[in-house]
Structure 1
């Protein structure tokens, strides 16, 4: 017999950090989401955190495999939350994991791709869509590329303004001492997505309206989403307004029913 009532059980969230960052960026959000009755896990992507010896060798496949490994270790469905660059990662991971494993995708001021697009291609498309009144895209012009073209990083003198302008001094210091190099290969690799899998997984976008890295309004409409939320924050609401971010994440969970048999 099938019971179509929504289960009160909490959801399982896997949080994936963006470029140059690490699992540490979710430190304030994880306990807030857990306090709402959910399981919340921050994933450290290869080449980040303590694993920086082989950063230049890391591929998009390595990122995706790390997310898939953690997802498959969880019982039942998971929701993937990707910040910034990680929008590409969770999209490809969802395609591999399937709609029975991934119940929703949440893009936090993130790159939301179509089949065959790379992050670099989406950056170019986004810049072309910016109007004269759009916020100045500070990130692209402040990237420093290694001589071997295998990694890049953000100009340390401007990283605080680009990512954390509305964050506390303590959070700025915490983050700036942890930013790392980013492998370029994952940024240049096109994702391979299908309408049959990726296309049917519900997507939600959280647009940070004061983000100084790049105006992502275009990206929030690039692929159909169930809902687009807005936060009056920098690109790093996990520091500047973690409570509001956790509330949105919890609200999304309530819109995704769990059916029991």
Structure 2
């Protein structure tokens, strides 16, 4: 068996650590160490959601986990909004990260926030502005098949996913990514894109041809909806293992 790898799986907006429930056991079964924390405001930390929770909070969550367990050579996987989170983490503790994996994720440059990467995010903020609590954004609604709920279409899976989703703080989408440490640029990166049933009007920024370290970009695709960890866990696991 190859040397065990440490994976830290970071969920996207509105989700929690349980979104990785089908992927984590597959990685563990291959002998690897896996952490899938819930970020502040989600899962077992849902009661901590407030207007002050932002990208910085979530960055601190992941760094706290890494330091608490003294993790090194970490493969840091970020889904969706968590592309911003893992970028920030890599900037703060680059010496502990061996690889970044962006799973259908926002990929920022230094100083960009979620709105810069995906302008549609501003519409969600504007939609919340007239509510009683304008700082909180409810989860996206279920759409007609084949779009479903974040690309999940199985009725049982949709029911389960709905039970895990919680609101997101506006500040998460407004705070900028910090990527000014030259050391983070040397970390290898891989991108996994979910393709085939993207919602209309959701434009994905093209992946640059080259990584910040100068190597050609590693881009993989999965023919599935946005929440690949739920809809295609085995296929996703295979890609994560292949890039170890």
**Tell me, what secondary structure is at the counterpart of 1:201?**
coil
Please report how far the alpha carbon of residue 149 of structure 1 lies from its aligned counterpart in structure 2 after TM superposition: 2.3
- The residue aligned with 2:92 is 96
Q: Deviations over 1:74-113 (max 9, x none)?
A: 4431111000000000000110012x21001000000011
**Tell me, what secondary structure is at the counterpart of 1:208?**
strand
- The residue aligned with 1:235 is 226
> In structure 1, how many angstroms separate the alpha carbons of the residues matched to 2:35 and 2:241?
15
Q: Deviations over 1:186-218 (max 9, x none)?
A: 2101112126122111111000013535342x2
**Tell me, what secondary structure is at the counterpart of 1:44?**
coil
TM-score by length of structure 1 reads 0.81
**Tell me, what secondary structure is at the counterpart of 2:207?**
helix
> In structure 2, how many angstroms separate the alpha carbons of the residues matched to 1:142 and 1:157?
15
Q: Deviations over 1:156-177 (max 9, x none)?
A: 3439835444542211111012
Cα 1:69–1:148 shift into 2, 3 Å: same
Paired residues of 1:142 and 1:158 also in contact (CA < 8 A): no
Paired residues of 1:164 and 1:172 also in contact (CA < 8 A): no
Alignment of 1:1-261 (within 5 A): 8-56=2-50, 57-72=52-67, 73-98=69-94, 100-124=95-119, 144-145=127-128, 146-158=131-143, 161=147, 163-194=149-180, 196-213=182-199, 214-216=202-204, 218-221=205-208, 224=211, 226-253=217-244
TM-score by length of structure 2 reads 0.86
Cα 1:36–1:215 shift into 2, 3 Å: farther
Please report how far the alpha carbon of residue 26 of structure 1 lies from its aligned counterpart in structure 2 after TM superposition: 0.2
Paired residues of 2:208 and 2:217 also in contact (CA < 8 A): no
Cα 1:141–1:119 shift into 2, 3 Å: closer
CA RMSD, Structure 1 to Structure 2 (Å): 2.4
Select between 45-54 and 18-27 the one with higher mean Cα deviation. 45-54
Please report how far the alpha carbon of residue 34 of structure 1 lies from its aligned counterpart in structure 2 after TM superposition: 1.1
> In structure 1, how many angstroms separate the alpha carbons of the residues matched to 2:28 and 2:115?
34
Higher relative contact order structure (alpha carbons within 8 Å, sequence separation ≥ 6): 1
